[in-house]
Amino acid sequence: MRCRYQVHRRSDKDGSDFGRGGEGGTCPIRSNAPKALPLARRAGTLDNVMERFGDYILERPLARGGMAELFVARHTPSAATVVLKRLLPEMEARQDVVDLFLTEADIGQLLRHDNIVRVLDAGERDGHYFLVMEFVDGLDVDHLLADAWFAKHPIPAAIAVRIAVDALRGLHFAHELRSPKGTRFGLVHRDVSPDNLVVTTSGVTKVADFGIAKLATLEGATQTGILKGKLTYMAPEQVQGLALDGRADGYALALVLYEILSSTRPFGQRDGESEINHLLRVRRGDVRSLAGLEPALPRSVTRSVDKMLRAWRFFRHRSCGAFADAIEAAAMRDTLIASHADVAAHVQGARQRHAQVALTRAQYT
């Protein structure tokens, strides 16, 4: 069925809603091996123009997935640097894909929060569907984990807690989103993972890519029984195909925080493990207690994470907001939460380390 929430078709805009640009984008799904970090780059100039697309100049490719391609672009009326996501030509003939893409655009334009990557514009141009997002200057958590692996120095627990609290605030806002009539949309992200958590150079974490999110009030946005998301970060009820609420996103975020604090993935696929056995292990929700795995961490913090990772969701924190409150209060009691300035310094350090590695490689190639 066609998305019931009308996407904004491109019209003359003064660009006043466009934020300032920066570095960022959507990263590929994380593999077991760490990946190289991206060099900080600025968007190109008119000399580098790839393509003009309506009011946008596509300056360089950023990523390409199975459904859409992303570009660093410039909004010509405002000169703002943005990220433009365009549906692939071969996908435009599939009505289900078009509906999913338009739903992402509709959802994104409703989400206005400091801890969510903003969708600035969306529509259709010459038969091509697109949406435009703010261009976030920073690194995603996936790259910070890779940096920690290469540097052989884990991400400090205080940094991890601040990242988690920020992300939980953004998710809670999305879960509580209501229509002008006061109807709760029941939005669930469904794909919370390290590559969808972007940490800016100012130290603020933003949740990205609500592309497979589902509105409870929008029937047909996803097919019942089809898994959408990354198995490593799924809640048991998501694997079981049950109706989801915000606790599924909270569970996924708790898995990310668990991974940062322990350098362990509870549901990473094991060597020689079949896909079905991997799925069944996630379905059971068997996670070793973080309190037992990392006894040096304050128990008030690890207990809060362990509570959010209970297999039966009715035993978890009631919402992402409640989880954020609990973990923030526990961390503050133990002085285990960093400031945004501390997080910003960590991101800058990761960039500098990568720049040094890239320079060394260049000298030998």
Query: Cβ distance 245 to 176 under 8 Å?
Result: no
- CA–CA gap between residue 32 and residue 24 (Å, rounded): 22
The order of strands in the sheet holding 51-53 is 51-53, 56-64, 68-75, 80-87, 128-134, 119-125
- CA–CA gap between residue 331 and residue 337 (Å, rounded): 5
Cβ-based neighbour number of residue 46 at 10 Å: 8
- For tokens 């690890």, what's the residue? 302
- CA–CA gap between residue 365 and residue 363 (Å, rounded): 6
Query: Cβ distance 106 to 7 under 8 Å?
Result: yes
DSSP string, 175-187: HT-B-TT--B---
Residues whose CB falls within 8 Å of the CB of residue 42, separated by 6 or more in sequence, listed in order: none
What single-letter amino acid sits at 195?
D
- CA–CA gap between residue 73 and residue 171 (Å, rounded): 27
Catalytic residue from among 55, 191, 249, 306: 191
Strands (DSSP E) contained in the chain are 51-53, 56-64, 68-75, 80-87, 119-125, 128-134, 138-140, 197-200, 205-207
Query: Cβ distance 335 to 144 under 8 Å?
Result: no
Q: How far is CA 311 from CA 150, 199, 276, 314, in A?
A: 33, 29, 18, 9
Active site annotation includes 191:
yes
3-state SS assignment for residue 150 = helix
Cβ-based neighbour number of residue 191 at 10 Å: 22
Query: Cβ distance 22 to 200 under 8 Å?
Result: yes
Using CB atoms within 10 Å of the CB of residue 101, give its burial: 0 to 12 exposed, 13 to 18 middle, 19+ buried.
buried
Instruction: Enumerate the active-site residues.
Output: 191
